[in-house]
Amino acid sequence: MVKMLDLGVTLFAILLTLSRVFITIILSIVTGWFLAYVAIKNKTFENVYISLSEILESVPVISFFPVVLIFFVLVIGGQLGIQLAVIFLVFTAVVWNIWMGIYQAFKTIPENLLEVSENYRFGFLGKMARLYIPYSIPRISANLIPSFADALFYITVSEVFSIGTKVFQVFGIGTLIADFTAEGDYTDALYALGILAVFTTLITFLLREYAEYSVQKYGLDTEERESFLKRGRIRVRYTARLYSAKSAISRLSKYLTKPPYFISRRERDKEDHEKRKIKLPNKIIGRGIGIVILVILSYLTYTVVSSVSPSTWSYIISTTPFDLVNLAYDYARVAFIALLSFLFAVFLGYYFATRPIADRIGVPIIQSIAAFPAPAYFPLLYGFTYSYVSSVLGPFTNEFYVILLGFVSTFYYIFYSFWLGVKNLPSEYWEIMKNYKMGFRTRMRRVLLPGTFPYIVAGLSSTINSAWGGLAIGEYWPDIFAGHTLEVKIGLMKAIALADNHGDLALVGWLSLIFAIVVVIYSILFTRRMMDLAREKYVAEEGVYAA
Amino acid sequence: MTNILNCVLHYRKLFKKLNRGLQGNTDGRILEAIDVGFKYSNGVIVFDDINLFASDGELVAIAGPSGVGKSTLLRVLGGFIKPYKGEVRLLGKKIVEPTPKISLIHQSIATFPWYTALDNVKLGIKYKKLPKDEEDKIARKMLEIVGLQGFENFYPKQLSGGMRQRVTIARALAADPVVLLMDEPFAHLDELTAEGLRHEIYSILFNEETPLKSVVLVSHNLSEIVELSDRVYVLNGSPASVIGEVKIDLDRPRNPRDSRFQEYLDELYALLTPISKTVKDGKNA
Ligand SMILES: Nc1ncnc2c1ncn2[C@@H]1O[C@H](COP(=O)(O)OP(=O)(O)OP(=O)(O)O)[C@@H](O)[C@H]1O
Ligand SMILES: [Mg+2]
């Protein structure tokens, strides 16, 4: 009897959470269609839109969310404010790559199709329904798996959040499992996790099938490899569109036929021309937007800070040197997680890419694991392994768990993008590697790593962003399991969480601002540089030439 | 450990084959396909019972309509894919995997954009694990042979299509191949560039300084075939088989206006025509 009730409650919680996930995704798609349409019609808007999305995507927005949330709850308030805050929180995690995917789709609609639609004088809705929307479906559908995983991850976290001493909570599977765990009801927690796993695996499977179906139905052959680098940086989740969608077998069956990635001269020229035209204003606008974001954040910070006593200012500012040390520790953690994920990705990605059967089985498994939200199962994992791990690692135990949480919530991006890059290497390269008997190290160093460099940069940047998210959760997790608190000694994410916990909102605002400044600068100086370098020199598709 | 064991086993097998091959008399045949058939995993048989060979000093062409299986056959010859029956032998030894002794040149001109011409060529010799300066010397010499002296430090992007294809030829030659497989090497070049490279290719390939013994050229350009090859296998049908073999007995350099050149062309056309009604873009001379 009790079990029946639990099952009902669990299912209800899962459905509630999933509907939040899908509301967010649908919201992203619908807004994406309209914004992309405006963007391709209006140059100025286009530049602003793209630069904004690029920066916001390469910045772990989620990590300085306390300050935005405070704003949300203070301004809108009430249960509505909380619900909206949750959705908004997740929205920002998934929206950028869906928007960019749609934009890229609209941007690459072949000229002749556009002309046809002009010819028949389709109105706005006609064009949307008959041309633009169908054309964007394959990309959207290929984006769905990572978007789903992302959204679920952050939703399970954000169903409970606290501002100051007040805890805000909405009912969902995240809160349900957290409650079970907190009450020591581990059987029920596991049981709920099991059901959740069934759902996530099933949904991942359905999304894969749908992606495959939609590529077959809506994909154009000519579109195939063409212009995934066309404009702006390449994005993991975006390039995911077709290749993930195709089954490994059908991809391999292409092995001997002529590769479809010849870009005709004319198209390439056109593209170059366009690139040159946009380059300069784009850079300036990009910087400008970075600054605008900082201004907005400063304003948010200001509203937060000014809502508290002004005398705290001097105290807050005096903490800055220590905050920077905190930040340095966090960067070290992020670097470590990124390195770990990278090694994992390279070896496993290579293994899968060279073994069709392992590939066929392994990649869906990894996808399902990635879609299974770490914040939901991590407390249990922690609880069940703590005594063993702490006996082995002693004082480094908590550090280990934080890194582990970061790793499980981020490895997927770099793995997936490297794997994708390897898959997309021209088949000629594989034949050359075999022909000239290159060993594993030569292959890696001379062909695979350079050849997948753009994918690696894109994947690493996603991994790094998510790693910040992981740290934000893991560095200070009070009462994670049976009264234990997971916390690190030094770390900016912890400092923010602690300040939040003590109701020191002014400090939260200040710390978030410092973090935002550093991260935006890092993104502009480092990530974008690497992207430019990758685009300039390491595009494997360009190594295969067709005059 | 198992690797070493495998290697030993492998070489013992090869040795036996070699002995058999030598006793069995290879007739100066460098590369030989015996009864090979290839089947895709979906069960489609692309070709069946193909017998062909290339002798010392010979440039052999494989002609056939588009989609007949020429590229597939070439990859079987190089050990890149396995035939479901029959076998391919290099100097009497069965080919079981790709080897630098049989180098493949792609139709799609595959260079590595992150390396200079020189470094691209060096990739062909990495397997020898030579000292750096020796590697460098060989690579430079090969670039010289293909006529790219002075372009060592250019990146592929800075080279024309014809020059890039020369780089891939230099890379293949650097690997010290006995046999060169060329899959429509001129198809992606504009006509003038292709013509230029065609004129030079024979002397580039059969120069004194490389151990290259035979070349197998795949093409559906019949006049290119008559211009370059010593012998032609014509592939047609479904599943494909060798439906004709033509020996081109013309002195080099060959002149397309020569009447005997034209006769050979006609002969090849005639071989391709009967079945080509099912294949639209079969021939474009
Ligand atoms: N993976 C595959 N599975 C099934 N059939 C395939 C596969 N790859 C190629 N084929 C088929 O094998 C046949 C031979 O292809 P191949 O590329 O060898 O032809 P080709 O003679 O080189 O053509 P072209 O002159 O156009 O280069 C084609 O009919 C093709 O459709
Ligand atoms: Mg071919």
Tokens of residue A489, six digits: 């000694």
For the record, the structure tokens of B242 come out as 């060798």
For the CA of B236, the nearest ligand: 1
pTM over 0.90: no
Rounded to whole angstroms, the Cα distance separating A239 from A455 reads 9
- What is the residue whose two structure tokens read 């390939």? B205
Are the CB atoms for A454 and A234 separated by under 8 Å? yes
Closest CA to A53 of A117, A103, A13: A103
Residue nearest to atom 2 of ligand 1 (CA): A253
DSSP A481: E
> How far is the C-alpha of A439 from the C-alpha of A446, rounded, in Å?
10
Minimal CA–CA distance to A535: which of A454, A462, A434, A473? A454
- Please answer whether residues A192 and A178 qualify as being in contact, where contact means their C-beta atoms are separated by less than 8 angstroms: no
In angstroms, what separates the C-alpha of B260 from chain A's closest C-alpha?
32
Does position B155 have pLDDT exceeding 90, yes or no? yes
Measured between alpha carbons, how far apart are the two ends of chain B, in Å? 54
Give the DSSP letter of residue A480.
E
To the nearest 10°, the Cα dihedral for B66, B67, B68, B74?
100
Out of A257, A258, A262, A431, mutate this one to test ligand 1's pocket (max ligand atoms within 8 Å of CB): namely A257
Whether B123 sits inside 8 A of A546 (CB atoms) is no
Region of B240 (left: φ > 0; alpha: ψ -120 to 50; beta: rest) is: beta
Q: Cα separations (Å) of B190 from A20, B183, B194?
A: 57, 16, 6
How high is the ipTM of this complex?
A: 0.82
Instruction: Show which residues on chain B lie within 8 Å of chain A, measured between beta carbons.
Output: 40-42, 71-72, 75, 78, 80-81, 97-100, 102-104, 106-115, 123-127, 156-157, 161, 164, 175, 188-190, 193
Three-state SS annotation for chain B:
CHHHHHHHHHHHHHHHHHHHHHHCCCCCEEEEEEEEEEECCCCCEEEEEEEEEEECCEEEEEECCCCCCHHHHHHHHCCCCCCCEEEEEECCEECCCCCCCEEEECCCCECCCCCCHHHHHHHHHHHHCCCHHHHHHHHHHHHHHCCCCCCCCCCHHHCCHHHHHHHHHHHHHHCCCCEEEEECCCCCCCHHHHHHHHHHHHHHHCCCCCCCCEEEEEECCHHHHHHHCCEEEEEECCCEEEEEEEECCCCCCCCCCCHHHHHHHHHHHHHHCCCHHHCCCCCCC
d(CA A531, CA B4): 43
pLDDT-based confidence at residue B20 (cuts at 50, 70, 90): very low
Calpha distance B246→A3 (Å, rounded): 82
Residue A441 sits at the chain B interface (C-beta within 8 Å)? no
Scored b (16 or more CB within 10 A) or e, A187-197 reads ebbbbbbebbb
Chain B environment of A428 (Cβ under 8 Å): 106, 108, 110
Residues of A in contact with B127 (CB under 8 A): 436-439
- Tell me which residues have their CB within 5 A of the ion that is ligand 2: B 71
Task: Give residue A535's identity as a one-letter amino acid code.
Answer: R
pLDDT at A178: 85
Spatial CA neighbour of B216 closest among B124, B113, B95, B118: B95
Cα(A103)–Cα(A119) distance, rounded to whole angstroms?
A: 23
Comparing CB atoms, the residue among B72, B124, B189 nearest residue A436 is B124
Q: Where are the alpha helices (DSSP H) in A42-172?
A: 43-57, 65-75, 78-107, 111-119, 124-127, 133-158
Ligand positioned closest to the Cα atom of B77 = 1
B98 and A447 within 8 Å at the Cβ level: the answer is no
Q: Which of A226, A62, A200, A18 is nearest to A139 (CA)?
A: A226
Which has more confidence, B43 or A265? B43
Smallest CA-to-CA distance from A67 within A477, A519, A470, A510 is with A510
Distance, in Å, from the CA atom of A482 to the CA atom of B4, rounded to the nearest integer, reads: 54
Using DSSP bridges, classify how beta strands B241-247 and B214-219 pair: parallel, antiparallel or unpaired.
unpaired
Residues 6+ apart with CB under 8 A from A247: A212, A360
CA B98 to CA B81: how far, in whole Å?
Answer: 9
Contacts of A450 in chain B (CB under 8 A): 112, 114
Nearest to A161 by CA among A24, A94, A69, A87: A69
What is the rounded distance in angstroms from the CA atom of residue A35 to the CA atom of residue A25? 15
From first to last of its 547 residues, chain A has per-residue pLDDT tens of 345 557 888 999 999 999 988 988 999 999 999 999 988 888 778 877 877 776 676 666 555 566 666 667 777 767 777 777 777 777 877 888 788 888 878 887 877 778 877 777 777 888 888 888 888 888 788 778 888 888 888 888 777 776 666 777 788 888 888 888 888 888 888 889 999 999 999 998 898 888 778 777 776 543 333 333 333 333 333 333 233 333 332 332 222 222 222 222 333 333 444 444 444 455 566 667 667 767 777 777 677 666 666 677 778 888 889 999 999 999 999 999 999 999 999 999 999 988 888 988 998 899 888 888 888 899 999 999 999 999 999 889 999 999 999 999 888 888 988 988 888 788 899 999 999 999 999 999 999 999 988 888 878 887 887 888 888 888 988 888 888 889 999 999 899 888 878 877 778 778 877 887 787 777 777 777 787 788 778 877 777 875 4
Q: Do A544 and B108 touch (CB under 8 A)?
A: yes
The residue with tokens 């805000």 is: A168
Of B75, B113, B126, the CB nearest to A442: B126
pLDDT score at A249: 27
- Name the DSSP letter for residue A444: I
The DSSP bridge partners found for residue B233 are: B62, B245
pLDDT at B6: 54
Q: Which residue has the higher pLDDT, A6 or B66?
A: B66
Tell me whether residues B104 and A431 touch, CB distance under 8 A: yes
Task: Answer whether A434 sits within 8 Å of B127, measured CB to CB.
Answer: no
Find the residues whose C-beta lies inside 6 A of ligand 1: A 253, 256-257; B 40, 42, 44, 46, 64, 66-72, 220
Q: How far apart are CA A464 and CA A528, in angstroms?
A: 14
Euclidean distance between CA atoms A301 and A310, whole angstroms:
13
Q: Which residue of A has its CA nearest to B168?
A: A432
Phi, psi of B245 (to 5 degrees): -135, 125
Look at B98 and A538 and tell me if their CB atoms are within 8 Å: no
Q: Using the structure block, give the residue that is written with the tokens 């040149």.
A: B105
